[in-house]
Structure 1
Amino acid sequence: MKFKNTLGVVIGSLLATSAFSALAQGQGAVEVEGFAKKEIFDSARDFKNNGNLFGGSVGYYLTDDVELRLGYDEVHNARGEDGRNIKGANTALDALYHFNNAGDALRPYVSAGFSDQSIGQSGRSGRNGSTFANVGGGAKYYITENLYARAGVEAQYNIDQGDTEWAPSIGIGMNFGGGSKPVAQVAEAAPEPMPEPMPVEEPAQVVRVELDVKFDFDKARVKEESYGDIKNLADFMKQYPQTTTTVAGHTDSVGTDAYNQNLSEKRASAVREVLVNQYGVEGERVSAAGYGESQPVADNATESGRAINRRVEAEVETQVK
């Protein structure tokens, strides 16, 4: 579980992937930091006092929030029970997950990873080597878009000896490239054109003209008083040349069925002739039909009812927008 054999490969990979992009503090960014730690050693190693660690790190943002960080520091001011200085170094590889958004001034984080430590007393050949599993947390405050200060603490579990050490730390770093879009660029971007509104099609309206021409008893002659109504129907059909109509003749119940059928057909033909010959509606647009006494609309037992049933009806309708 030693890192020395892979240290060169990791450093090379970070440098190879640290090409700067146009924007700051997010995916593709590189952070370089100098830091100081206070190592609170575990009791098993019998050190007389805790050590000061000074070092640096380089990190690469895999996403806007996830950073892979490689760090190196050296141990100072630690002493053994015999008073001799303790010297050594730590190499660590950690992953950091940042909260808030890339570009925010304050970005808390949590971290996890592994480190390798090699320390020993000055003047002695033997050295103590340990591998640690690290977890920690802290926050970065971006003084400018590229300059930040950091404070945090790590718990380091000594996998080889089974003890835990603590290391609070502070650091100053620089951020280069990568990340979220600056607000100014978003504000200056040209707005997308609004789609053209779809035309609202007004619903069609039905327009209609109805004709009801009354006849004297046993007559098929169109009375003068009905010509105005027939002209209104003709004008409507001229205004809407796609329309057609059927004029329907009817009688009262006086007389035989055959006689009344023939009389109703004559009445329908008389109205059609006025429409076509007098008011100029095309003949193919007007047809005539007789229904005899079969479709009364009033009571044939009374004179007034029979007068209503002696009629010719027509209806023309169309849809307009």
Structure 2
Amino acid sequence: MKLNKIALALVAVAAAPLAANAGVTISPLLLGYHVTDDISDTADKQREILRTGKNLYEDANGNQIGDGSRGNSNGGIAKESGLYTGAALGIELTPSTQFQVEYGVSNTNGEASEDSADAGINRFDVEQTMISGNFLIGTEEFTGYTDGALKPYVLVGAGQSKIEVENQEQYDDSNGNTVTAGTEVSSSKDTIGNLGLGAMYRINDALSLRGEARAIHNFDNNWWEGMALAGLEVVLGGHLAPTVAVPPMEEPMVDTAPIVIVESDLDSDGDGVPDSIDACPGTPMNVVVDERGCPVPVDITDELKMELRVFFDNDKSAIKNQYKPEIAKVAEKMREYPNSTARVEGHASKTGPSARYNQRLSEARAVAVKSMLTNEFGIAPNRLSTVGYGYDQPIAPNDTEEGRAMNRRVYAIITGDKTMTVEQTKDMVVQ
């Protein structure tokens, strides 16, 4: 079975400029079983379409048959069921729906018709290549249920199928011409439609296992094929975060009550403004007031700076339950300070198989904290940045278990500020 190297190269080249964007998916290898000859109606139609040979011939009455493009007296073949290999590149349109371009190959033997067998042609190599664009629509779009690692989906798509037949034995066609082994003797290029059911099992925010059952309809020749496949899906930059609803802003209330002036020289609240013109009676002592006796507002800036530390088990990027309350506190502060941002740094101990492996592990740990802040607590992704340092920045020696446990960490720095309007007091120094 040939693994199509061109398809894998196309996936790698197309994914390179998209790697920094969230929601780009790659399935580098899809393995499946492609069913054709087990469906009798399909096999019969394939034998009718895929005639062995491309030369004109005459029947028993001397009538010329065919147009030189397909068909002779050697009969036809049907493609046998066999292994399917492919690859796919996609992009998430919503957190539960994506569009994928898939390229795959099924290379099997051909089952000869009785006419082909009588002519001495028994061995064929049949290669079927398929390229299609498919929508993977998650059931979350219909149910609204988003919890859980298992993500069922419906697949709908269309594309093109090309079948090429090569003979593996030398034979003479109906005109007496010798056809050598390894010659293409028939082909068919057709439009196909895909309909299937499948599910993704998310191992973490970057990796998912995929399983699927698919029906394939050949529109040009009106036959059906079937396929069951499985593979691994990689997400670059993390999955798209669900949209968080923001309540509409309310218009501030404006006090339009008329000012009542009472002639009096009393100053009941001691703010220096007589009651006769005091629009804000009862002002507390030590509060600065204007000529109407109302407190003078002043803006003050409150700065936020906090840290977050999360430690991980060896070779893991899953966040342990004991750290979720700390992450929740960070989210609460970031909501309180709307312009605050967080830099999430991932680190690893020096125990992995390679520096590259530890680098990826440190990045995955940083992304896990970012995903929890985004997906569970509604913090906008553009307020969070992630970086992985591998094992280049240890805070403890890596030659002890205690030191390695300290180095398996995420360290986040949260900074920001907010401006508040308060009543100015007489002992307040305004800069």
TM tier, smaller: 0.3 to 0.5
TM-score normalised by structure 2 residue count: 0.27
TM-score normalised by structure 1 residue count: 0.36
- Structure having the higher Rg: 1
